[in-house]
Amino acid sequence: MFSKFFEWYEKRHDYARDWLTKNDGEVVGCFCSYAPEELIYAAGHLPVRMLGSHEPQDVTEPHIFGMYCPFCRDVLAQGLKGRFNYMKGIMLAQSCLHLRQSFTSWRNHVPVDYAYYLYMPNKVQTDHARSYLAGELAKFRRSLEEWTGREITDEALREAAEVYNESRRLAHEVYDLRKGPNPALTGLEAMVMVASSFMVDKKEHNAELKRILPELKERRLDRETGARLMIVGSEDDDTEFIRMVESVGATVVTDDHCTGSRYFWNSVEFTNGDILSDIANRYVDRPTCPTKDFETRSRFPHILQLAKDFNVDGVLLIQQKFCDPHECDMPPLKEYLNENGFPTLFLEFDVTVPLGPMRIRVEAFLEMVGEEELF
């Protein structure tokens, strides 16, 4: 049922190249889920979030520090290896230092026509963030207009926001089908469903979701649900890991990842006022990345609510190695979830994860949270 999403995810470059032959726009690579894709989409381009390939590589060493996270190195490697050689534009909405290094190295060492750095405020917990970001979006809009010589109208922005809102609504519908005792889809399918939405024209992605939803609502998976797990942490599109977890007696029923629920959780709320302000508010109000979650840690109650709503038995806390913002959150988050009755297992991710050692940890965790069959 999810074969189209897997195809998009696995053949992302083929899709983008094909899109370019059929459309009068460019592919614009985005470095973070804070990228206001609505603007790029309204300009007639295809916004694509760049993810890694999960292959060991040796091309980034001269460009990026060894103690920067494996994800940002993996992303940069894709550019240095020429995997995105069809892509003319890149943009970063500021979140963390590591990804910014990938962006600047890409700008300096991979040929692109257009590179835009958007000052996405880190302190979103202040009202100034709203007007500030709206102003930054206006600058980004002008910059995109200058690049292609095409005007981006308010109407086009509104339409783009509606397409994106529909995508978010549909993703929620799919996630809702994971709340019951028999989730209609696996965590792997959910992961690929969201990750592929980074790579495909949202209209097309929406159409496919609408096509499968009636059938999905009736679907009974031919497998034991086992322990219901949630994954929380840094960027994560490690399909091999989640496949392994779901092969040893568990189902991942929800997540808090920028490549998962954080990406689509909230929508643009239209006020009939300035459309850029509406879009800005959406990015200020979305479930935060830890880089932007201060002074109050607003993520924690949100994560707890997810764990409760999806009836979770345990939480996998995963972190890209050296991802400082997430690492700082892990000890208090672990304590917070444990105090609220949710056991946790912390795992550190690299470009590739050693499945054997990860498996023993996951299996032991499942024995810990599972029924008392052994006692």
Partner 1 sequence: MTENKQEFWRWSEYNWRDENKDWREGNIVTAGIDVGSVSSQAVICVDGELYAFNNVRTGSNSPDSARRALEGALKDTGMTRDDINFVVGTGYGRVNVPFADKAVTEIACHARGANFMAGNEVRTILDMGGQDCKAIHCDEKGKVTNFKMNDKCAAGTGRGMEVLADLLEVPVTEIGEMSFQVDEEPPPVSSTCVVFAKSESMALLKDGWPKSKVLAAYCAAMAQRVASLLESVGMQEKFFITGGIAKNRGVVERIEKILGVKAIQTKFDSQIAGALGAALFAKTLYEKRQAKGVA
What residues make contact with partner 1 under the rule CB under 8 A? 348, 356-357, 360-361, 363-364, 367-368, 372-375
Pairwise CA distance, residues 291 & 43, whole Å:
29
> By C-beta, is 178 or 334 nearer to partner 1?
334
Nearest approach, Cβ of 302 to partner 1 (angstroms)?
Answer: 25
Q: Measured on CA atoms in the order 193, 195, 196, 197, is the torsion positive or negative? A: positive
> By C-beta, is 127 or 372 nearer to partner 1?
372
Pairwise CA distance, residues 103 & 63, whole Å:
11
Pairwise CA distance, residues 106 & 356, whole Å:
34
Nearest approach, Cβ of 227 to partner 1 (angstroms)?
Answer: 14
Q: Find where tokens 């092969």 sit.
A: 247
Which of the 8 DSSP states describes residue 290? G
Nearest approach, Cβ of 330 to partner 1 (angstroms)?
Answer: 12
141-153: b or e for each residue (b if 16 or more CB lie within 10 Å)? beebeebbebebe
> By C-beta, is 31 or 241 nearer to partner 1?
241
> By C-beta, is 44 or 370 nearer to partner 1?
370
Q: Calculate the dihedral angle through the C-alpha atoms of 13, 19, 21, 23, rounding to the nearest 10 degrees.
A: -150
> By C-beta, is 203 or 361 nearer to partner 1?
361
Nearest approach, Cβ of 354 to partner 1 (angstroms)?
Answer: 9
Nearest approach, Cβ of 353 to partner 1 (angstroms)?
Answer: 11
294-306: b or e for each residue (b if 16 or more CB lie within 10 Å)? eeebebbebbbeb
> By C-beta, is 268 or 345 nearer to partner 1?
345
Nearest approach, Cβ of 267 to partner 1 (angstroms)?
Answer: 39
